[in-house]
Amino acid sequence: MVNAHWLSRHKGFLILLPSLILTAIFIYGFIGTSFFFSLTNWRTLAVDLSLRDPMWQTYADMLAMPRFQADLRNTVVFTVLFIGLAVSVGLGLAILLDRQIAGKGFFRNTFLFPYALSFIVTGVVWRWIFNPETGINLFFNFLGINRALEAAGMNPLEPGWTTDPAVVFSVNQLLSQIWPGGMSFQIEWGIPVALIPVAIAATWQLSGFVMAMYLGGLGGISPQIRDAARIDGAGDLRLYRSVIIPMLNPITISTVIILLHVSLKIFDLVFAMSGVGPGFATDVPAIFVFEMMFKAARYNLGAAASIVMLIASSLVIVPYLVHTFKHRES
């Protein structure tokens, strides 16, 4: 009888127990293992689990690598470009579709369609689109833009897209002023031109998803609010700027969080589209992890980089989760 009583009291816990155990082993256990590997001397195929001396040397080496510095820069630049573009394009599409236009259902599905593709497919397609020899550069010739430019005495428009190693808007000078150690940066801190096409491709894929999120939000705004705003004399622009977009804020936050974790972990799109790029212009931490782990067999370095990625994602996700739970409790 006691047993039955005990069982019924702990039923919830017992039902959860298998998944708790699996989560503990396969998520937290393996995170711990990766972290441990990052502190060891393991850098060949032969397993070497002795701790490095000093223990954090792999992290120090990694942060001093020009390649990893470029990866961090690229992640920041890509995240800003991609989220900025995806959210504004997605919101724009949602607002357009929210107005009663013909063929609404058709356009909604068309815009959402790229989201159904895998990043690898997107990457391969956009790789060809931005190929300087065969891609959209041919349109510049075809449409006569280059002929017009040459006639005007200017250079023809032949961007290298993902093969352009240039880094524009470099802030190294500025950094070295505000941060005395800034001169030791081995890379240009700026916007790698080659990342822009990658951000465009990612936007193409995910702006439909952003649009769907916003359409859901727009559907939740009652017509009375719109009517009230109109009666108060708000024009279209004013209606969206001061009433509807602020009301969509919770959607924006969720969308940005979801896109953030896409951009922090991005691998397949970049790998298929441009690889590490010229001078690491399009390299990202996930490619770094893959190459160090599976090509160079530097398990400690690959593990260290994946721990850094985990921390970066947690910095975004944990505050969001805390916020959500608090919200729910109150």
Partner 1 sequence: MMRTSLLLLIILLLSSCQSGDPTRSEKQIEVFTWWTSGSEASALETVLEVYQNRYPDVEVVNASIAGGGGSAARPVLQTRLVGGNPPDTWQTHHGAELMGQYVMPGFAASVNDLYDAEGWYELFSPSLIEMVSKDGEPYLVVLNLHRSNTLWYNKHVLAEHGIPMGDALSIEELFRIAEEFQNTEIAPLCMGDTGIWATGIMFENTLAGTIGAERYQGLWNGSTRFTDSDVMEAVRTYGRLLNYQNDDHAALSWDQAADKMADGACVFYSMGDWVYGELIRDGLQENIDFGWVAHPGTEGIHILVTDGFTLARNAPHPEETLNMLRIMGERVVQEDFNLIKGSICARNDCDRSRFGPYLQWAMDEYAKSVAVPTVIHGSAAPADFQQSLNDALTDFVVRRDAEAFTKMLAREARASGFGM
Q: How far is the CB of 58 from partner 1 (least distance, A)?
A: 10
The correct pick among 296, 318, 321, 322 for binding partner 1 (CB under 8 A) is: 296
Q: Give 85 or 127: the residue with its C-beta nearer to partner 1.
A: 127
Q: What is the dihedral of CA 280, 281, 282, 288, to 10 degrees?
A: 20
How many angstroms separate the CA atoms of 78 and 200, rounded?
Answer: 10
The correct pick among 123, 207, 272, 291 for binding partner 1 (CB under 8 A) is: 291
The correct pick among 43, 104, 226, 261 for binding partner 1 (CB under 8 A) is: 43
Is there binding between residue 61 and partner 1 (CB under 8 A)? yes
Q: Give 187 or 308: the residue with its C-beta nearer to partner 1.
A: 187
What count of Cα atoms within 13 Å lies in the side-chain half-sphere of residue 109?
3
Query: Is the CB of residue 199 less than 8 Å from the CB of residue 85?
Result: yes
How many angstroms separate the CA atoms of 222 and 300, rounded?
Answer: 55
Q: Which of residues 131-170 bind partner 1 (CB under 8 A)?
A: 131-133, 160, 163, 165
Is there binding between residue 66 and partner 1 (CB under 8 A)? yes
Residue 204 makes CB contacts below 8 A (sequence gap 6+) with: 114, 122, 126
Is there binding between residue 280 and partner 1 (CB under 8 A)? yes
Is there binding between residue 279 and partner 1 (CB under 8 A)? yes
CA-wise closest residue to 162 among 197, 124, 120: 197
How many angstroms separate the CA atoms of 273 and 121, rounded?
Answer: 9
The correct pick among 175, 278, 310, 313 for binding partner 1 (CB under 8 A) is: 278
Is there binding between residue 190 and partner 1 (CB under 8 A)? no
Q: Give 138 or 321: the residue with its C-beta nearer to partner 1.
A: 138
Please name the helix (run of DSSP H) or strand (run of DSSP E) that holds residue 168, with its range, or none.
strand 167-168
CA 73 → CA 41, 76, 183, 204, 291, distances in Å?
A: 27, 5, 16, 22, 18
Q: Give 268 or 317: the residue with its C-beta nearer to partner 1.
A: 268
CA-wise closest residue to 163 among 217, 204, 127: 127
Q: How many residues bind partner 1 (CB under 8 A)?
A: 33
**Choices 39-47, 218-226, 233-241, 309-317; region in contact with partner 1 by CB under 8 A:** 39-47
Please name the helix (run of DSSP H) or strand (run of DSSP E) that holds residue 70, with its range, or none.
helix 66-98
Q: How far is the CB of 103 from partner 1 (least distance, A)?
A: 39
How many angstroms separate the CA atoms of 22 and 19, rounded?
Answer: 5
Is there binding between residue 101 and partner 1 (CB under 8 A)? no
**Choices 43-51, 97-105, 111-119, 311-319; region in contact with partner 1 by CB under 8 A:** 43-51
Other beta carbons within 10 Å of 74: 27
Positions that interact with partner 1 (CB under 8 A):
14-15, 18, 43-47, 61, 65-67, 131-133, 160, 163, 165, 186, 275-276, 278-281, 290-292, 294-298
